[in-house]
Structures are given as C-alpha cells and as structure tokens.
C-alpha cells in the first residue's frame, strides 16, 4: 500500500497569505492518479485538483497543484476566509487507494 505523508500537520495563517502544502508518497505515483480534496467541518470533501495539477470544475485559480514522482504540492495563493479547512491528497495509482492524513489550515 502506498503511504501518503502530508506536511505540515497544521498551518496557522492569516487571510491574504499564501501557502504550500506537501504530499510525499512512499512509492512513485503517476501524476494523473493524484488528487487533492478540501474538507470543512460537517461537510463532505470537495475535489480541488485532479491529475496533480488540473483544477476541478468551479475551483478558483488561487488553488494550484504540481509535482511528480513522489513529491506533490498544493499551493493556495491569497487565502480567503472560506479556505480554512483540512486538505487531503489522494492516490489511486496503486490499490488500495489511499489518502494522506490531512493538513489543517487554520486562522492565525
């Protein structure tokens, strides 16, 4: 099973700041099989990025994904109040599919 390790565990930031979240895989993942999700309290996760770098429908361009191999990142430019949430990376290149443990982005 591929283990996805996200760092840091928690980020304390202010609105307007920018940040980069890391997702490191225990084995090489083909980029097309790496996604990112956002989850807010009491809500279902929402797909942000598919194929490592493709924004899902309706996702603002302040969200961007990049990376390849074992190292992937999600960048959020100019944090908006609604961006404070937990972010998960997800791989389905190798069964079973796995998620990272999440990075919490909280208001400083």
Partner 1 sequence: QVQLQESGPGLVKPSETLSLSCSVSGGSIVGYYWTWIRRPAGKGLEWVGRISSSGSTRYNPSLESRLTMSVDTSNHQFSLKLTSVSAADTAVYFCARSAVDTADFDLWGQGTLVTVSS
Q: How many residues bind partner 1 (CB under 8 A)?
A: 23
Q: What are the start-end ranges of the H helices in 1-108?
A: none
Our CB check for partner 1 shows the closer of 17 and 26 to be 26
43 belongs to the binding site for partner 1 (CB under 8 A): yes
CA distance 91 to 85: 20
73 belongs to the binding site for partner 1 (CB under 8 A): no
Residues 39, 32, 21: CA angle, nearest 5 degrees: 40
Asked if 41 and 84 touch (Cβ cutoff 8 Å), the reply is no
From candidates 46, 62, 64, 66, binder to partner 1 by CB under 8 A: 46
Peptide bond connecting 8 to the previous residue in cis, omega within 30 degrees of 0: yes
From candidates 22, 50, 64, 66, binder to partner 1 by CB under 8 A: 50
Asked if 31 and 51 touch (Cβ cutoff 8 Å), the reply is yes
- Chain residues 81-100 in contact with partner 1, contact rule CB under 8 A: 88, 90, 92, 95-100
65 belongs to the binding site for partner 1 (CB under 8 A): no
Q: Which residues bind partner 1 (CB under 8 A)?
A: 1, 33, 35, 37, 43-47, 50, 56-57, 88, 90, 92, 95-102
């Amino acid at each position: 099973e591929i283990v996805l390790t996200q760092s840091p565990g928690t980020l304390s930031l202010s609105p307007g700041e920018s940040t980069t979240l890391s997702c490191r895989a225990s084995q090489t993942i083909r980029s097309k099989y790496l996604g990112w999700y956002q989850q807010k309290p009491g809500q279902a996760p929402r797909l942000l990025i598919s194929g490592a770098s493709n924004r899902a429908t309706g996702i603002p361009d302040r969200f961007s994904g990049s990376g390849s191999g074992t190292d992937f990142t999600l960048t959020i430019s100019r944090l908006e109040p609604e961006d404070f949430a937990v972010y998960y990376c997800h791989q389905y290149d190798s069964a079973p599919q796995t998620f990272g443990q999440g990075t919490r982005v909280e208001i400083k």
